[in-house]
Amino acid sequence: MNGETLSKRDLAHIWHPCSQMSEYLFGKLPLIPIKKAKGVWLYDYDGARYLDAVSSWWVNLFGHGEPRIARAIAKQSRELEHCIFAGYTHKQAIRLAERVTAIAPKGLNRVFFADNGSAAIEVAIKMAFHYFANRGENRPLAISLTNSYHGETLGALAVGDVALYKQIYAPLLIQTLQAKSPALFSQDEALADMRRILKGNEGKICAVIVEPLVQCAGDMAMYEPSYLKALRVLCDEFGVLLIADEIAVGFGRTGTMFACDQADISPDLMALSKGLTGGFLPLSLVLTSDDIYDAFCIDDYGKKSFLHSHSYTGNPIACAAANATLDIFESGDILGENAKKARYIADRLSKIAAYRVSGVRQKGMIAAFELAGVEYSRDLTIRVTREALKRGVMLRPLGKTIYIMPPYAIKKRQIDLLFDAIEDILSAL
């Protein structure tokens, strides 16, 4: 079986995510069947390999085929593959909740399980609104940042601000408010705008939701931890909850286990997913405080209960993968090793400035820059993607933004290969 045959079979039936299918159907972009993966490499059916520079949509932490996670999944699947999580529990979920709350920012002692990142955002928004409702307050509004992205389900989309994903669905979305992002405006201006919105809507806002330090789908826009510290103070002043969307930036991506750690703050709710299972299985968690949990823990099954559920909530196999992920963090100095790799990435990134680029930036294992001196078109994105594939690298540009977020298994020589390819692409452009 070769790649071309599989691509034809795929295109006869499958509708791919975040894609314009005509680009595959008419050959503008290749649709590449992947046969296997190992470490930082994806292998196709025709003998080619591609360095996974984006961790397969930011989910893979330690490299593809990580044997410790694979073994944990296999073992758990033979013991308990799934059971209803309402009124029943199991060891893997209990152990995961204990371990995550132990390493999370202080005060996040309760864990609600969901299936994926968007689902976790839905949970957090509903939980924030419902918390105030249980206290007798109607607070239907949430604030997010301009340029933010929190997922594709309707609630998550409503608190986002990337027009490409949101604009067409605007008639379906709940009302939310957007404050200036510190990644696009000065910190003082962003905080002043946040204060203005909080003050002007006092008593109506349940939560502020942010992606700490990096607005990933918002062209990898980055800002400083000091904003988070000041935002925590503002939320406390106006009595609103702070939701940290650490779905993409958690588990070491920005250099610390959680991005909030760099600001030394605790949000009221924190959403986790993506790297949680090392890139093997979908799972998400919403961590929250005892205060929020207690507001629901009332002898009233009706309006005051949080009756949110997913069929695969707390799936034992996914929880086993997550526990294996935490085992790997505990088995060695992953963050310390990442810091060394991040310094080498910074060194190679500094050489990019010699080309026609702008906005060169980095947070831990995430690095990005913009193409300069060229007009953006979809054809530009396609060209960069194809040029990267020719050089054995998988890139997925965000408009004019080229970024990398590689698995932690990446070695120095592979970082060189990646940046050599990027420099070749810049020269070709």
* Among candidate residues 240, 224, 223, 222, the one with its CA nearest the CA of residue 232: 240
Residue type, 2: N
Residues 8, 26: Cα–Cα separation, whole Å: 12
Architecture of domain 67-331: 3-Layer(aba) Sandwich (3.40)
CATH number given to 32-65+333-428: 3.90.1150.10
Consecutive H or E run containing 286: strand 284-288
Asked whether this chain's domains 32-65+333-428 and 67-331 adopt the same fold, the reply is: no
Residues 74, 37: Cα–Cα separation, whole Å: 18
**Residues contacting 70, CB < 8 A, separation 6+:** 280
pLDDT of residue 302: 82
In this structure, what are the phi and psi dihedrals at residue 243, rounded to the nearest 5 degrees?
-105, 125
How wide is the angle at C-alpha 119 spanned by C-alphas 296 and 122, nearest 5°?
A: 55
Residues 287, 55: Cα–Cα separation, whole Å: 24
Residues 421, 387: Cα–Cα separation, whole Å: 9
pTM of the model: 0.97
State the number of CA atoms in the 13 A half-sphere of 87 facing the CB.
1
Cβ(180)–Cβ(145) under 8 Å? yes
pLDDT of residue 67: 98
Residues 76, 83: Cα–Cα separation, whole Å: 13
* Among candidate residues 97, 424, 9, the one with its CA nearest the CA of residue 293: 97
List the chain domain ranges. 32-65+333-428, 67-331
Question: Three-class SS string for 59-99?
Answer: CCCCCECCHHHHHHHHHHHHHCCCCCCCCCCCHHHHHHHHH
5 burial type by CB count under 10 A (0-12 exposed, 13-18 middle, 19+ buried): exposed
The residue length of the chain stands at 429
Residues 47, 91: Cα–Cα separation, whole Å: 42
The one-digit pLDDT tens for each residue of the chain (429 residues) are 799 999 999 999 999 999 999 999 999 999 999 999 999 999 999 999 999 999 999 999 999 999 999 999 999 999 999 999 999 999 999 999 999 999 999 999 999 999 999 999 999 999 999 999 999 999 999 999 999 999 999 999 999 999 999 999 999 999 999 999 999 999 999 999 999 999 999 999 999 999 999 999 999 999 999 999 999 999 999 999 999 999 999 999 999 999 999 999 999 999 999 999 999 999 999 999 999 999 999 888 888 999 999 999 999 999 999 999 999 999 999 999 999 999 999 999 999 989 999 999 999 999 999 999 888 999 999 999 999 999 999 999 999 999 999 999 999 999 999 999 999 999 988
pLDDT of residue 208: 98
pLDDT of residue 303: 86
263 burial type by CB count under 10 A (0-12 exposed, 13-18 middle, 19+ buried): buried
150 burial type by CB count under 10 A (0-12 exposed, 13-18 middle, 19+ buried): buried
Residues 120, 41: Cα–Cα separation, whole Å: 29
**E strand intervals along 95-151:** 110-114, 141-145
How wide is the angle at C-alpha 216 spanned by C-alphas 214 and 219, nearest 5°?
A: 105
Kindly calculate the radius of gyration of the chain based on its CA atoms and give it in whole angstroms.
22
Residues 192, 388: Cα–Cα separation, whole Å: 42
Residues 234, 207: Cα–Cα separation, whole Å: 11
194 burial type by CB count under 10 A (0-12 exposed, 13-18 middle, 19+ buried): buried
- Tokens standing for residue 251: 């588990």
C-alpha pair distances (Å), 206 with each of 48, 133, 135, 142, 325: 51, 10, 12, 6, 33
Residue type, 382: I
- Tokens standing for residue 190: 């962003």
pLDDT of residue 39: 98
pLDDT of residue 429: 84
Residues 150, 158: Cα–Cα separation, whole Å: 9
pLDDT of residue 385: 97
* Among candidate residues 368, 363, 404, 366, the one with its CA nearest the CA of residue 225: 363
